[in-house]
Amino acid sequence: ALYLSVISGVFMIYNVVLMDSLLALGKARTVRNITGIWALLQWVLTIPLVLLWNYNGVVLAGLLVSMTFFIPLMHIRKIVDIDIWSGTLPYLGYSMISGAVMFFLSHLIVINSLSILVFVVFLGSMVYLLLLLLFRRRALLSNWHTFRKLIFTQ
């Protein structure tokens, strides 16, 4: 159930951003209709999936509903030319590589205390940062300079 929830969370992030974009474009009626479809789908899918897989059925129903993020995306693409994958796929790949390293480290290092767990998480974060510096150094530094300029200039 945890892995399904994590995958569902990825789709939910897209859903929230796309629905907020529709609201910003003044399409409140469309947002209401999509939300109604999602609620209906959740109820229709949850009952049979719970009967088949107990609690995991609830999580699976949520995953299936969240995978319909393409519905608001289709509505936004009618108004604005948008490409959501080019900005997110590389970072998703870096996260997956870091996750694989974390998985490997958790099998090498016995995690039996909070300090060791924090250390392993720190190592995973360093792997992610290293990947960012290796492949996205220019964009990362540009964003850092923009951030510093916005925060520290009057």
In this structure, what DSSP letter does residue 84 have? S
95, 133 Cβ separation under 8 angstroms: no
Dist. CA 67–CA 118, nearest whole Å = 32
Residues 6+ apart with CB under 8 A from 123: 101, 102, 105
Question: Counting beta carbons within 10 angstroms of the beta carbon of residue 63, is it exposed (0 to 12), middle (13 to 18) or buried (19 or more)?
Answer: buried
Reading the chain (154 residues) residue by residue, the pLDDT tens digits are 788 898 899 899 999 999 999 999 999 999 999 999 999 999 999 999 999 999 999 999 999 999 999 999 999 999 999 888 888 889 989 999 999 988 888 889 888 999 998 998 899 999 999 999 999 999 989 999 999 999 988 6
CA dihedral of residues 94, 95, 99, 102 (deg, nearest 10): 70
